[in-house]
Each structure stands twice: as C-alpha cells, then as structure tokens.
Structure 1
Amino acid sequence: MAFMDKMKRGFGSTFSFFGDAWSELRKVKWPSRKELTSYTLVVMGTVAFVTLYFYVLDLGISELIRLVIE
C-alpha cells in the first residue's frame, strides 16, 4: 500500500508541476510580430558576423602554420 501512495503522490506532483507551468506561461508577455522579426534579424546578423570573424581568423592561423611548417 505504501508503494501505491508514493505513486499517487509522485503523479500528483507531476500534474501539479505542469499546472503551475501552464499558469506561469499565461503571465508571459509574448513579443509582437515586429519585435520578433527585429530580434531574429539581430540574431542572424550576429551569427553571420561571428561566423565571418572565425572564418578569417582560421584562414590567418592556417596560413601562419603553413609558413612555419614550410
């Protein structure tokens, strides 16, 4: 009987967790379409910049290593 009581308490807390999470999600201020678009563009621009930076850095280091080896 103790096992079944533990199971009931475990599932009860799981359902309670999801209920609490759902109520917290209702309190969130979701971004508007315009805000979301601008945030997405900022992220994509940042990713492109960082990618280009590391690409150039990698080319430079590769060239230095090539010069040292030869």
Structure 2
Amino acid sequence: MAAAAAARANRKKRGSIKEYFKGVKLEMKKVVWPTKKELGSFTVVVLASCAAFALVFWGVDTGVLAAIQAVCF
C-alpha cells in the first residue's frame, strides 16, 4: 500500500512530457553553436587525429604480426 502511494507521488514529481520538451527548448537556446569556420577546423582536426591513430594502430599491428611470425614459424 505504501509502495503504491510512493510510486504515485514519484510520478507526479517527474512532470509531463510537455514540460520536458519546454525545458529542452530552453536549454537548446542556451547552446552556443560553432561557426562554419570553427566547424571546418574542428573537422580537419578530427580527420587528422583519426588518420594518425589509424597509422599508429597499423604500425603496431604490423609489428606484432612480424614478432609472432618470427617466433612461431
């Protein structure tokens, strides 16, 4: 009995979906979006980082493969 009352009270506390989306809209107005120039530079940094990590992983993979082949065969 007490658990059901607590569940009902908790449901009322959460609010409605309409209030949730009002809050989302208010928060989205506070967001500072990057300019096209900033977005372009961020994209270049991300792509360069991905390429660098890919090269590092390729190098490590090649080295480990060579070491395993040297030991096993």
| Same fold, judged at TM 0.5 (above) | yes
CA distance in 2, matches of 1:18, 1:51: 40
Amino acid at match of 1:50: F
State the Cα distance separating 1:14 from its structure 2 match: 1.8
Identify the residue that residue 14 of structure 1 maps to in structure 2. Answer: 17
State the Cα distance separating 1:13 from its structure 2 match: 2.2
Match of 1:57 among 60, 69, 72: 60
Instruction: Report how many aligned residue pairs link the two structures.
Output: 65
Structure 2 unmatched runs, 5+? 1-7
Q: Does 1:30 align with 2:40?
A: no
Amino acid at match of 1:60: G
CA distance in 2, matches of 1:13, 1:51: 46
- Give the CA RMSD over aligned residues: 2.1
Normalized against structure 2, the TM-score is what? 0.77
Structure 1 unmatched runs, 5+? none
Identify the residue that residue 68 of structure 1 maps to in structure 2. Answer: 71
CA distance in 1, matches of 2:44, 2:65: 31
Normalized against structure 1, the TM-score is what? 0.80
Amino acid at match of 1:67: A
The runs of at least 4 consecutive aligned structure 1 residues that moved more than 2 Å come to: none
Q: Percent identity?
A: 35
